[in-house]
Structure 1
C-alpha cells in the first residue's frame, strides 16, 4: 500500500463534478501508479492509472473478472446493489458483466448487427441526421449544443439500430441518464422516481421483447431477444440488462466525446483551423477526440488469483479499477499528453476499453464523430463556449449536462 500523504478518494463523485481531475491522476501516475483506495462503504480497491497496466489487466480476462457474481464491471458491487446501483431492480445480467466464454458468445450475436454489410449506407443516413439537426441550430447565437446535437445524434442512430421510431430518442435520453446517474440528484431525485423510471423502462422492454420474439428483424433488439447461450434462450431480464448496455454504451461515449471535443476546439482554435483546412485529418482525428475526452472514467474487475501487476501484489478477491481517464493521459504513451492534437497518429487510446471487453460499437461511434465534425467544418469558423458547463456528478461518466456555445458562421 502507498505511504504517500497524497490520498485522494477516487470513488467520491464530488471529485469529478467541477472538473476532470487530470492533475490528481498525473500525480498518482508519478508517485503511486497502483494506488490503494479505501472505501467508506466497502473493502477498498486498487486503482490502476498507467496505460500499460490497464491494458495488461484488460487482456487477462482469465485473471481479472468482470462477472456479475464477482462484483461486475462497476465500482460498486453489482451482485449486492444491482446493475444500476438502485437496489434489487430485477435487471438481468448484461454481457459486459460476463466472463469468457459466455461474454464471447454474446459478442458474436451483437457483432453482425454492426457489420458494414448489415449497416449498409449508415454513414449516409448519419450525414442526413447531422444535417437535419444542424439546420435547427441558429448560427451566431448562444445555444446549448447538448440537446440540439450531442445527445440526439447517437440516440437517433441507436433508435435505427434497435428498430425504434426516431421520436423515441427523448425517452431514451431520460432513461440512460437515470441508468448512469446514481450519484447525481438531478438524474435520480429519489428512490421513488427511479422506481417509476425503471417501471416505465421495463414496460417498454417487455413490449419490445415480445414483438421481436414474435417477428424478428435485422435489428439489434431482435438479435438480443432471440439470442441463445448453449441452446437456452436468453431470459427477458437479461434482455433488459443487455438493452441498457446497448443504450448506455451507444449513447454516452459519442454524446460526451462530441461535447468535450467542441469545448476543446473552443479552447484550441488552431486545431479547428487545421480541421477546416485539412478535412482529411478527420479520418484519424476521432481517436484523438475520444482519448482527450475519456467519456468513460473507469471500469472495474476482480482478481481471481494472487497476481503482480505494475510491481504491486494483488490478492485474490481484490477489486481493481482501471481509470481510463488517467491511462489516456499517460505521458509514457502520449507525447504532450494533455495537449489536444488532431494531428496525432496511431492513437492507442483506451476510451473504449481494451482487450476482450473493448466496445463493439467503437467504429460506429468514431464514424458519427467524423461525420458531425465534417459538416461543422463546412459551416462553422469557430466555437465560442460561454460559461462553465455543468458536469455529471459521477465517478463513471465524464459527462456534460450542457454546453452553451456560439457557432460562429464561416
Structure 2
C-alpha cells in the first residue's frame, strides 16, 4: 500500500481531498480544480481508507490515459471504474455477489464484445425513428407545467423525459419511470444518506430491483423482441450466452447511463440559462444554434465528474512516476474547464460550436448513448425556447452528496411564458 509521502516526498503538497463527497455538496469546487491544473495537474490524493490515487485534471492528459486501455485498465479485477475498488465493494455496498460485471468495468477485447450487444438498439436509424415520440413526450410533460408558477423542474421534466425514453428502449411501459428513478438514485448514491438511508433499506431496494430484472430477463429470453433488454438477455458473447448475473450488472449500467447524464445536463442547463439570460435569448432568436449548443450544455454541466483507471505497469504522466497498481482518476469535470482547450472556460457560451468535451468520457469507454442524450437535449430546449421567455430560479437547488455524479435533486423554477409573437 502506498502513502502520500511515498509519492510526493512532501505532505505539504496536499491541497484537497477530491474523494470527499462533502466537497461537492454546495457546488463543484471549480477553483480548486483550476489550482490543481496550474500547480499539480497529476495530483497525489491520499485516502483515509485506501492507498490513495492520482487525480488527473488536465484535458490532454485525460485523453492520453484514455488512449491506452492496456496500460490504464478499467477491469473489475483491477478495481473497476470508480474511486473505490469494485472488486472489494459492490454497487449496493452489501457484498452482493449475484450481480455480474458491467461492460464499463471490462477491458478490450471483452469490453468491445459486450458493448456491441446494445449498439444495435442505438443506431442512427433507431434514433431517427424515436425522435418523434421523444418530442411528443417532451411536449406532453411541458403541457403539464403551469407557466409562471414555481415547479420542481427535475421532477416535472428533467427526470421523467430520459427515463421515459429509457423505458421505450427497454420495451417497458411508461409507468415504470418512477421505479427506475428510485433505483438509479440508489445505485449511484453511496455517499448520500437520502439515497442510502440504511443497509436494510438498501437491501430492500436491491431485492426489488433484482426481482424485477430477473422477471424481465426471463420474459425476454422466452419471447425476444427488438428492445435493448432483449438484446442483452439473448446476447452470445464469444460463444457464451449472457447469464442473469451479467444481465443484472449491465442493466444497472444502462439504467444509470441512460438517464443520469441527460437528466442532470437538462437541470444544470436550465440553471445556466437562468444565470446567463443572454444565452437563452440567443438560442430563442437563433434556434439553429441548438445543434451544437447541446455540446456546451454537457461540457458546462459535466454530469459525470470522474472515471477511474488502474496502472498495469510502471509508467509516467507529465513526468510524474506512476507505479503498477496505482489508481488513476480522470476528472472530466476539471478537463471540461481546462483553459488551454476552452477559452474563458467557466463561461456558459452556446456559440462555442463543434467543441470536443469529455462529458461523455473519451476513448473506448465513450458513452454509447451520447447521440441519444444530445438529441433529447436538443428537443427539450427547442420546445422550451418556443414557450419560455426566461427561467427564474426560486431557490438554490439541493445537490447530490457525491464525488461521482454532479446531480441536482430539485430545481425550483418559474418558467416565464413567452409573449405571443415573441
Calculate the TM-score normalised by the size of structure 2.
0.96
Number of aligned positions between the proteins:
410
Match of 2:122 in 1: 114
How many Å separate the matches in 1 of 2:337 and 2:128?
35
How many Å separate the matches in 1 of 2:108 and 2:406?
28
Deviations 1:72-121 (Å, cap 9, x if unpaired)? 00110000011344433521100001000010011221111100223442
How many Å separate the matches in 1 of 2:304 and 2:344?
21
Q: 1:154 to 1:21 in 2, by over 3 A?
A: same
How many Å separate the matches in 1 of 2:264 and 2:350?
17
Match of 1:162 in 2: 170
How many Å separate the matches in 2 of 1:86 and 1:349?
35
Match of 1:333 in 2: 341
Aligned-partner SS, 2:118: helix
Match of 1:38 in 2: 46
Q: Check conservation: 1:37, 1:45, Cα contact below 8 A.
A: yes
The reply on whether 1:25 has 2:46 as its aligned counterpart is: no
Match of 1:217 in 2: 225
1:39-78 alignment, distance < 5 Å: 39-78=47-86
Aligned-partner SS, 1:81: coil
Match of 2:270 in 1: 262
How many Å separate the matches in 1 of 2:193 and 2:247?
27
The reply on whether 1:133 has 2:129 as its aligned counterpart is: no
1:269-288 alignment, distance < 5 Å: 269-288=277-296
1:133-152 alignment, distance < 5 Å: 133-152=141-160
Aligned-partner SS, 2:195: coil
How many Å separate the matches in 1 of 2:194 and 2:213?
24
Match of 1:389 in 2: 397
Q: 1:85 to 1:75 in 2, by over 3 A?
A: farther
Match of 1:91 in 2: 99
How many Å separate the matches in 1 of 2:62 and 2:223?
42
Q: 1:193 to 1:89 in 2, by over 3 A?
A: farther
How many Å separate the matches in 2 of 1:290 and 1:120?
21
Aligned-partner SS, 1:80: coil
Deviations 1:216-239 (Å, cap 9, x if unpaired)? 111000111111121111110110
Equivalent residue for 1:102, pick from 100, 110, 122: 110
The reply on whether 1:299 has 2:307 as its aligned counterpart is: yes
The reply on whether 1:401 has 2:372 as its aligned counterpart is: no
Q: Check conservation: 2:92, 2:202, Cα contact below 8 A.
A: no
How many Å separate the matches in 2 of 1:84 and 1:18?
25
The reply on whether 1:234 has 2:242 as its aligned counterpart is: yes
Residue range with higher mean Cα deviation, 155-164 or 55-64: 55-64
Q: Check conservation: 1:113, 1:220, Cα contact below 8 A.
A: yes
Alpha-carbon distance, 1:386 to partner? 1.1
The reply on whether 1:195 has 2:219 as its aligned counterpart is: no
Match of 2:388 in 1: 380
Deviations 1:259-278 (Å, cap 9, x if unpaired)? 00000000000000000000
Calculate the TM-score normalised by the size of structure 1.
0.98
Match of 2:363 in 1: 355
Q: 1:99 to 1:367 in 2, by over 3 A?
A: same
Aligned-residue Cα RMSD (Å) equals: 1.0
How many Å separate the matches in 1 of 2:153 and 2:354?
29
